[in-house]
A and B are shown apart, each in its own frame.
Chain A
Amino acid sequence: MGTEVPSSEARLIGRARRGDVQAFGRLVELNKDYIFNAVFHLLGNAVDAEDISQEVFLRAFRHLNDFEGRARFRTWLYGIMLNAVRSFWRRRTLRGTVSLDGGGEGAPLPDPPGPTDGPDAAADRRERVEAVRAAIGALDEESREIVVLRDIKGLAYEELAEVLRIPVGTVKSRLHRARTALRKALEPLYGAEQKDGPDDG
């Protein structure tokens, strides 16, 4: 009935630590979209993404006492997510299942299409989306992690350093490498790299 006192994240965490499942539920609500989205882009399909998202929050609940409050809660969650995703990748490797990343909702993605100038803007956009998604899925895992976290989830460099547990300098170089790879993979879409040309003017 009464208006709910705006619960600060810290208070929710405190309550969840003492076993308050409802408080933890609020924390899940506040963060589930971020986690699910990131996992979706890392794994390329919604079924595994839901699975892993659940696992992330279960782990978070279990290890709530390890959260020191130094970083943002969400950043801490991203760290757990990364661990969960990496063990998923490892398990899959061990199982020998080669699943094509980027196969969103079960439908295999087509090869990146060539440049199109079709009249249908919507179809054009869809092709573009699928090509970009496929290119991200084809990146090596290290590159994919950083592209998803930076270019899709918009984490700051410091947060990336925290989540990936690497120095900020490494964040910069890894990100550059990943984006360059992405650029190269998407040449069919954006055209080949511009050749060094003579100065204009």
Chain B
Amino acid sequence: MADCRVHRERFSEYIDDVLDVQGRRALEEHLAGCAACRRELDVWRRLLSDVADLPVPPTPAGLTRRVLDRVEDAAGDPRRRLVRVFRQRVGPVAAMIAAVVGLTFAVNRAGEVEVPVAPHLALMRPYEAKSELTDLLAAEALQMDDAVAGGTLRRAVPSATSAVRVADHAGAVTMAAQEHADGVGPERDGVGGRPSLGGDVADTDVRVRPRAASAPTAPPAMRQFFNQLPGPEAVPAGAPVQQVLTLMAEDQAVLASRVVAVANDNGLQAWLALEEDEGGGAMDLYMSVPPERYRALLRQLQRLALPQHQTLMTGEEHGSSFFGDEGRRPEPVARGRAPGGRGGGLDADARAAGRGVLDAVKEEEQMTVAAEAVKEARARAEPAGALNLMVRVVRPAEE
């Protein structure tokens, strides 16, 4: 019968008992006279009851504990935590990723290159950095300063844009955050409203492309923030290094990002410096650790590499007895080389062009904010009685 199809269109609502009286009566009259539809309805009911009865594994024990562990230090104002997360966690990591991504691509490709940021950030998936970063980059693109966390955004976004600064500084690339509206619940469904229920805004791509020699393409709003961030230059010169932990990994950048994440998880800031070594570049991460956390932190860090791939010695043994001494003062990321020496091919012109742009940006607006940021970072870096740890991340020797 031709109208079986029409009646079956209503099975779903009929089973859920949301048909109006008329619709229900019509369907029931048909069912009374149609065995095929009765059988089909029966199949639907069995299917849905099988779906409802699907077994689930038990909720993992300790889920609540793990959530609370991550929440605990945010017991105060979640906004404050966001700020902290950004300055300490996303800032340095984003800068490092930008350095790696930016330099590598700038050297290798002549044309426009799009680097989706997510895959790189996904390396840090166990940590929160990724979602926070993409959320806020996207938020900035949408100009929704206040949408997610009120006053936090204005301060957090500069951290994220440190990626831009670093790449630009390298002289060959600029990056522009771009927001993809796709996949965001409300928009996709064509219903307006607040950005989203859970504060998740959207994923963000970072485009990397050769920069025209004269025209810096980073939006002014971003450039305004370029130099607000405490970079490696904020590492207090002359602070004694108590210990040096050297970790070795094929994928140096990944390991370094894990070191940063561990530090950040412990509420610590890590500064990154790249250093040219014999052959391969070393990534030095400096951190000042409150004595009571030192052992635990060290244990966590040592878990990042196999025992045979790490050494621990005192600063004196290692010859790095002071942060930033003897010309070991960390260079800002962009002036260093890409890790593993891969970035060595940047030509001098490009580098000079980058400096030119940066100099243009370095106007008085920068002077005040930057000075303040450095001061603040130093204050954080030198808590009374802190132990200074340098984690050096190296690649295995080629030979």
Contact = CB atoms under 8 A, between A and B. Distances in A.
Interface of A: 19-21, 24-25, 28-29, 32-33, 36-37, 40-41, 46, 50-51, 53-64, 66, 76, 79-84, 86-87, 89-91, 94-96, 104-105, 128-129, 132-133, 136, 147, 150-152, 154, 157, 164-166, 170, 172, 175-176, 179-180, 182-183, 186, 190-191, 193-201
Given A61-B78, A172-B18, A199-B33, A54 B47 contact: no
Interface in B1-43: 1-2, 4-5, 9, 11-13, 16, 18, 33-37, 39-40, 43
Contact of B59 (A33, A60, A150, A196): A33
Given A19-B75, A58-B67, A59-B199, 15 more contacts: A20-B75, A21-B72, A28-B64, A41-B56, A51-B125, A54-B70, A56-B198, A58-B70, A59-B198, A62-B74, A62-B149, A66-B199, A87-B200, A147-B51, A176-B9
Given A90-B183, A129-B55, A151-B52, A25 B36 contact: no
Nearest to A182: B47
A93 to B, nearest CB: 9
Interface in B88-122: 116, 118-119, 122
B88 to A, nearest CB: 17
User: How many residues of B sit at the interface, in one of the four size bands?
Assistant: 35 or more
What 7 A-B pairs are tightest by C-beta distance, nearest first? A80-B198, A197-B36, A79-B197, A176-B12, A83-B198, A194-B40, A194-B36
A29 to B, nearest CB: 5
B36 A90 contact: no
Contacts of B2: 196
A132 B277 CA distance: 58
Nearest to A78: B197
B66 interface: yes
Contacts of A175: 12, 16
A53 B63 contact: yes
A183 B78 contact: no
B43 A58 contact: no
A194 B42 CA distance: 10
21 contacts: A19-B75, A19-B76, A21-B75, A37-B59, A40-B57, A46-B57, A54-B63, A54-B67, A55-B131, A57-B71, A61-B74, A61-B78, A62-B78, A90-B203, A132-B47, A154-B52, A165-B193, A176-B9, A179-B48, A197-B34, A199-B33
Contacts of B54: 41, 129, 132-133, 136, 152
B197 A76 contact: yes
Contacts of A87: 131, 183, 200, 203
A186 B131 contact: no
Nearest to A24: B71
Given A21-B71, A61-B74, A63-B199, A91 B47 contact: no
A193 B36 CA distance: 9
B64 A25 contact: yes
A104 B118 CA distance: 25
B4 A196 contact: yes
B280 interface: no
A46 B47 contact: no
A94 B119 contact: yes
Interface string B160-200: 00000000000000000000000101100101010011111
A77 B138 CA distance: 23
Contact of B67 (A57, A152, A186, A194): A57
A136 B51 CA distance: 9
A7 to B, nearest CB: 16
Contacts of A82: 185, 197
Nearest to B121: A91
A91 B40 contact: no
A32 B59 contact: yes
Contacts of B72: 21
Given A62-B82, A80-B197, A197 B50 contact: no
A60 B78 CA distance: 11
B46 interface: yes
B128 interface: yes
A183 B196 CA distance: 32
A162 B7 CA distance: 28
Nearest to B19: A172
A62 B23 CA distance: 45
A199 B1 contact: yes
Contacts of A172: 12-13, 18
Nearest to B73: A21
Contacts of A198: 1
Given A86-B185, A166-B189, A175-B12, A193 B51 contact: no
Contacts of A152: 51-52, 54
